[in-house]
Amino acid sequence: MPNLRFTEQPLSEWMRHRGYESDIVISSRVRIARNLQHLAFPMLATNQQSEEVLTRLKAVLEDDRLSQYGVLHFLPLDDMDDLDRRILVEKHLISPNLATESRNGAVLISEDESLSIMINEEDHLRIQCLYPGFHVQEAWERATAVDDIFEAHVDYAFDDKRGYLTSCPTNVGTGLRASVMMHLPALVLTQQINRILSAVSQVGLTVRGIYGEGSEAMGNLFQISNQITLGQSESEIIENLHGVVLQIIEHEKTARQKLLMESRLRMTDRVMRSYGILSNAAIIDSKEAAQRLSDVRLGIDLGLIDHLTASQLNELTVLTQSGFLQKIFNEHMDRAERDMYRAKLIREKLGK
């Protein structure tokens, strides 16, 4: 069995720290997609071909340059049960695709979980770096450094005109997907969010939910990422995202100040009502829990709540997902049972 300590603790070590503009930007992530030359891409690969990819990429672990990122733990997906895979998805260490559709899939995870390297996902190799707060440039620098180490050992599928070749056409070119997870409750409450997000889509960026493409933006959490990977350099993609996110941060700050100045009592009531429900509810579904936790997080950031921290809210956000609930209480649950146990866990955590 592989080392599955990563599925025991809800809070990754990197999530315990605050970064630049952490009250609005929860995290920054950069992901690089690559494929090996002369081997079928994962969706068309035979079992033998995917095994060869796994063997060749695992061998790169022998490169001493990777030691600067700490110990990298090798976890084959075939050795995990469905629950552990789901938890790794909930912690954003692997993708839903790797968890459910991969053949000979594996992931390399660093000690602090800020670096995860997926093998035989939609592409042969996906290097992902995570940082707390708004540090997309730093995440890019680390990801490209790791990419250089792998490229020293294997030949990538590359076209002189199109750039790096990937399974999905939207990743062809740089293979780079840079994103930030933003908490934007004030823009939602002041009904500015649709206008802001519409403007974002006009400058080559896209907005997704907490688990990426196809997921819902629950709890006022929005993932802003580049939509274009072809025709722009990596630095242009990072600079474009950086500039737009700075503008969104300023809009959110202005909206928060407006809420405090014009309706402080109403905001306090909203925050405290959500805190009261979380502290006393007998059942609560995931959508309501996310919204109530968003209210409480805003209360912390506005100074309306001073006995909780953002780190505690980060932990609760992960703990209340379905995989972790089943892991903690050691039983399979239907939806009604998850809602009951979710409320129980939140009451216990806030009671402490």
| DSSP string across 10-57 | SS-GGGGS--TTTTTEEEEEEEEEE-BTTS--TTT--HHHHHHHHHHH
DSSP 8-state secondary structure symbol assigned to residue 124: S
- Residue 27 is labelled as binding a ligand: yes
The angle at the Cα of 11, spanning 298 to 107, to the nearest 5 degrees, equals 130
- Residue 322 is labelled as binding a ligand: no
**Closest residue by Cα to residue 352 from 304, 314, 309, 317:** 309
- Residue 29 is labelled as binding a ligand: yes
Dist CA 11 CA 312 (whole Å): 9
- Residue 28 is labelled as binding a ligand: yes
- Residue 133 is labelled as binding a ligand: no
- Residue 92 is labelled as binding a ligand: yes
- Residue 5 is labelled as binding a ligand: no
- Residue 30 is labelled as binding a ligand: yes
- Residue 212 is labelled as binding a ligand: yes
- Residue 195 is labelled as binding a ligand: no
- Residue 286 is labelled as binding a ligand: no
- Residue 19 is labelled as binding a ligand: no
- Residue 193 is labelled as binding a ligand: no
- Residue 167 is labelled as binding a ligand: no
**Which residues in the chain belong to E strands, given as ranges?**
25-34, 72-76, 106-110, 115-119, 125-132, 158-159, 163-164, 176-183, 205-208, 221-226
CA distances from 270 to 122, 178, 285, 286 (A): 42, 34, 19, 19
State the binding site for ATP.
27-31, 92, 126, 177-181, 208-213
State the binding site.
27-31, 92, 126, 177-181, 208-213
